[in-house]
Amino acid sequence: MKQLSLMIDLSLCIGCRTCIVACRNYHEIVDHATAMPNEIPYYLRVESCSQGTYPNLAFDTWVVPCQHCEEPNCADACPEGAISKDPETGIVHIDRETCNGCNAFEGALTVDKQLTSPCKEACPAHMNVQGYVGLVAKGKFQEALKVMKEDNPLPAICGRVCDHPCEAKCNRGEIDEPVAINAIKRFVADLDLNDDTRYVPEIKDKKNDKVAVIGSGPAGLSCAYFLAREGYTVTIIEKAPVSGGMLTNGIPSYRLPQNLIEAEIQVIRDMGVTIKTGTELGKDITVEQLRQEGFKAFFIGIGAQECKSLGIEGEDLEGVYSGIDFLDKINLGESVELGKRVAVIGGGNAALDAARSARRLGGEDACVIYRRSTDEMPANADEIQECQDEGIPIHTLTQPVRFIGENGRVNRIECVKMQLGEPDESGRKAPEPVPGSEFIIDVDTVITALGQETDWACLTEECACQLTDWGTMTVDPLTLQSDDPDIFAGGDAVTGPRTVIEAIAGGKEAAISIDRFIRGVDLKEGRYKEWAVAAEVQKEKYHPAKRAHMPVLKPEDRVRSFDEVQLGLSEEMAVEEAKRCLGCGCACVQACPYEVIQFDLKAGISHKCNLCYDKTLVGELPVCAEVCMTDAITFGEYDLVKQWAVCDGRTIVTDLSKESLLYIK
């Protein structure tokens, strides 16, 4: 298949704008005199033909406002099937009869269709939420999955444990309730868990370069996934006996079943990634040894798996567990002696996971102790509600001051009541002890879940990486590159304990940087983006409909086993819920990595350069190339255009009827 393209030679272009005036497709050719080249990463250009200069070859800067991608994201994301790629010419075009502008309607606010939907902006991985939700509304589940996996390799996992910030920004929430985006994502991703029908992304041409990923949690898995997709040979090194990091070791199966984690990790293995478990960096192997073995770059995604201590008397008593160790033992199938009275110290998801797990293991009188109020708890609201539904009390404004034991085992906690003062560094009101309010709680077991930190024993002397005062790795905030040029890091190792989707986003960004680093390309060019969000759109068109609420096991049934609590939406529920989406922007606009698709307010449809598709089919030139007075525009096969750009002169001339095409006037 010919992949056709255009190129503008800026050494010949005089900025007369003839091409812009002549353009039959909404004046798509960008005027180089007013455009900012470094902010438009979709134009091939030749600065000086005589010297054969071809800047930014790896970025393909300055051609037409459409790259006619080999696998166009816009076509995948279009719920109407209005975008297709011609198999003969490689031209991606939009059928104006089929496109409906993602249900646009006449009115001044339709200008927002060009902007990003707030759900995509709010997602740390910037998933094309509107794209996959729109596809689900049409019953196109496989297509929706492909759109999801363009930005997130673990959608089934995220469908269960993501804190879904996308829903908090959903414009539908100003009408009734936000769209249940996370539940829709889970429904689609669960359809992909069958071994026989699982979607495995296509791998680009295989590269000889090797990359080592340290840690197999969500950040490491994400980085490996995106690098493997680019054709790199990736090896994940994991010190635990199983892969998955905190996904496997830190989240109980009633929230995240183990077989589901393994199913999504298997896709990454199927992409050619090797996972070496039971191998500890800094002990079994070092970064320097890996360098000697030919690894060109490294990603540190070791998470934060060391539990912080309270620093009070009695923490070393028998029967006092750290939350991470406790959950790890459960997930590995080890028995833990608890008794009925279990107190969990902390207010995050790990604390509530520990309390709910203890309840399932016989801790009938399990409780949570937290020093602030419920409003300040960092745990997800759903997790707090489910904990309370299961009869587990949360004792707020309570602080342990010492653990008391008998015969070496804890049996009581001395606590003090707290009151909230002025906000502290976290922005929450700081808890202060109430004088004379000490009291005793009788316990059989104590589990502390106060937050995590990273163990940096893996970094040996040959590494120049630096740590912050918070115990996280110092990296460039945009590229995630450390003080060692070939070492990158992301996830909790950089941010401190955060969410799964933030770790996935970090792995994705690091993969982009590693790819550029290995290819010797500027790590920052074109990376920074400010999101313009569609905030007030299409509310007049909505149809009243209640949000689909996730079916769950009854509380009395939950506490008897570790069976999954949330049961998932049915197909009918998922489709109807997806139809509640307001379609704030255009799915294709948000899918395009080059931001070249535009929205026509009058016609109510999307459009972009199609290389004068109808003219090309009959052997004619695109209008811009035809009218250019200085012969600055070259049209032809993409690869031949590149070859010509680096040659010393205009030596290749063919016509439109030849098998190989490069036309120069």
Q: pLDDT, tens digit, for every residue of 335-346?
A: 888 999 999 999
Fold of 116-199+536-584: Fumarate Reductase Iron-sulfur Protein; Chain B, domain 2 (1.10.1060)
- Over the stretch 538-556, which tens digit does the pLDDT of each residue have? 666 677 788 999 999 999 9
With a cut of 60, say whether residue 1 has pLDDT above it. no
Residue 126's identity, in one-letter code, is H
For residues 60-78, give the mean pLDDT: 72
Q: Which helix (H) or strand (E) holds 441?
A: strand 439-442
Q: Are strands 662-663 and 342-345 parallel, antiparallel or unpaired?
A: unpaired
Residue 546 DSSP code? P
* pLDDT for the residue numbered 55: 36
Which range scores top for mean pLDDT: 171-175, 176-180, 648-652? 176-180
**What pLDDT sits at residue 52?**
36
The predicted model gives 603-608 an average pLDDT of 83
Q: Which residues, in sequence order, are CB contacts of 231 under 8 Å at separation 6+? A: 203, 204, 205, 206, 207
Task: Please say if the pLDDT value at position 520 is more than 80.
Answer: yes
Two tokens, residue 465: 């990486």
Extended strands (E) in 109-231: 210-214
500: Cβ contacts below 8 Å, ≥ 6 apart: 154, 157, 158, 161, 162, 218, 247
Comparing 150 with 21, which gets the higher pLDDT?
150
Segments making up each domain of the chain, as ranges: 4-65+609-663, 116-199+536-584, 210-305+454-519, 308-453
Q: What gap in Å lies between CA 534 and CA 121, rounded to an integer? A: 10
Res 43 pLDDT > 60:
no
Q: How far apart are CA 632 and CA 48, in angstroms?
A: 11
Q: What does CATH list as the number for 4-65+609-663?
A: 3.30.70
62 pLDDT higher than 60 = no
The percent of residues above 70 in pLDDT, for the chain, comes to 87
Q: What is the mean pLDDT of residues 269-287?
A: 93
- Which tens digit of pLDDT belongs to each residue from 84-125? 998 888 889 899 899 988 887 766 456 677 889 999 999 999
pLDDT band with cut points at 50, 70 and 90 for residue 25? low
Q: How far apart are the first and last CA of the chain?
A: 23
Does pLDDT of 487 surpass 80?
yes
Closest CA to 85 of 618, 583, 588: 588
State the CATH architecture for 308-453. Answer: 3-Layer(bba) Sandwich (3.50)
- Tell me: pLDDT of 208 over 50: yes
Q: Looking at the chain, how many residues does it have?
A: 665
pLDDT category at 638 given cuts 50, 70, 90 is: confident
Token pair of 60 as six digits: 């393909």
Q: Which of these ranges, 165-174, 370-379, 419-428, 531-540, has the smallest mean pLDDT?
A: 531-540
Residue 649 has pLDDT above 80, yes or no: no
The pLDDT value given to residue 390: 94
pLDDT of residue 300: 94
Q: Where is pLDDT greater, at 65 or 221?
A: 221
Q: Which residue has the tokens 């290995």?
A: 518
Is residue 659's pLDDT more than 70? no
pLDDT of 636 higher than 50: yes
Residue 414 phi, psi dihedral angles, 5° rounding: -90, 125
Contact 661, 4 (CB under 8 A): yes
- Specify the higher pLDDT residue, 221 or 46: 221
180/543 Cα distance (integer angstroms): 16
- Whether 150 has a pLDDT exceeding 80, the answer reads yes
Kindly indicate the confidence band of residue 137, based on its pLDDT and cuts at 50, 70 and 90: very high
Q: Is the pLDDT of residue 202 over 50?
A: yes
Nearest Cα to Cα of residue 449 among 331, 311, 328, 354:
354
Confidence at residue 573, expressed as pLDDT on a 0 to 100 scale: 96
d(CA 660, CA 637): 7
CATH of 210-305+454-519, one of 3.40.50.2300, 3.50.50.60, 3.30.70.270, 1.10.260.40: 3.50.50.60
Give tens-digit pLDDT for 380-414: 888 999 999 999 999 999 999 999 999 999 999 99
Tokens of 254: 């009633």
Q: Which residue has the higher pLDDT, 534 or 258?
A: 258
pLDDT of residue 515: 95
**Identical fold, 210-305+454-519 and 308-453:** yes
* Average pLDDT over the chain, rounded to an integer: 85
Which DSSP state fits 274?
E
Residue 623 has which token pair?
């209008």
pLDDT value for 415 = 96
- For the segment 612-624, what is each residue's pLDDT rounded down to a tens digit? 888 887 878 888 8
Indicate the residue type of 108: A
Per-residue pLDDT, 32: 46
- Give 534 or 220, the one with higher predicted confidence: 220
Looking at residue 35, its pLDDT comes to 44
